[in-house]
Amino acid sequence: MVANAGGYDITIGMANASLTGIAHRGASAYAPENTVAAFDEAIRLGAAAIEFDLRLSADGVPVVVHDETVDRTTNGRGRVAELSRLDLIRFDAGSWKHPRFAGTRIPTLSEALAAIDDLAVPVMELKTWIPPELLTDILAEYDQTARAVLLSFDLQRLAPYRTLLPDVRCGLLADKWTGNLPGLCCDAGTGILALNAGILTLDRVSQARNAGLEVWTYTVNDAGSIAGAAAMGVSGLITDFPDLIRARPAAV
């Protein structure tokens, strides 16, 4: 289970299945993804953890945005890496979702951590290189070093953080399965394997768990698939709909 967040029981056709609900880019089904509004909604809905994406602005500020460009989720244009933080805050990152979110901005990592506080575990996907020393300082400032989780599709990208941030838990995201995935994670000191829901099978979950790994899955948005993942032994589920997992504290 996610550190300090507890597990969550779900009662969708199974008895006492323990599953941690992780809000994908916040409660992105209901609010604009990767914004404070989405984080606030995820917390209101009882998410134990909140996943969000990190990139670096042109002036070296970690910002919360998924795509290489701001085109899809704001009224602006351009590559995140070529825009300063001041450029980015001028864009409206909410109106595309609904007019009531007009004026919503792209948050910095600091703003995201301040919004999440100790109400949920921050789960950060590294979409690009973030200097480990910078990340270390920001996590320490918000007292999140022992709580945070780092995810990446690239084990090599995670390696420096394993050295400088030994208390931060790391996980490999995978959308393709190979039999050596569990071994690669173990060799790299990565304790979580997060599998795309499309490649999730009982045998693969069992292999990973037998290697001592936690198994998460992404992105699951219907009750039947959630129940199936829990039955396979998945312990962390990334979803746009965190309210699909009932927030009842499980016995630890």
Contacts of 15 (CB under 8 A, 6+ apart): none
Query: How high is the pLDDT of residue 154?
Result: 96
The answer to whether residues 130 and 62 touch, using CB atoms and an 8 Å cutoff, is yes
The answer to whether residues 166 and 191 touch, using CB atoms and an 8 Å cutoff, is no
The answer to whether residues 171 and 216 touch, using CB atoms and an 8 Å cutoff, is yes
**Domain spans of the chain, in order of start:** 8-68+107-249
pLDDT along the chain (252 residues), means of 10: 36 50 98 98 97 98 98 98 98 97 98 98 97 95 96 94 90 97 96 98 98 98 95 97 69 24
Tell me which H or E stretch contains 138.
helix 132-141
Q: Which two tokens stand for residue 157?
A: 């990208």
Q: Which two tokens stand for residue 75?
A: 């009224």
Give CA–CA dist 207/21, Å, rounded. 22
Query: How high is the pLDDT of residue 176?
Result: 97
Only one residue has tokens 């506080």, namely: 117
Query: How high is the pLDDT of residue 98?
Result: 97
Asked if 66 is an active-site residue, the reply is yes
Give CA–CA dist 181/174, Å, rounded. 9
- DSSP letter at 107 equals P
Tell me which of 8, 9, 22, 24 is the catalytic residue: 24
Tell me which of 44, 66, 162, 209 is the catalytic residue: 66
Query: How high is the pLDDT of residue 6?
Result: 36
Q: Does 8-68+107-249 carry CATH code 3.40.1000.10?
A: no
Query: How high is the pLDDT of residue 10?
Result: 36
Asked if 24 is an active-site residue, the reply is yes
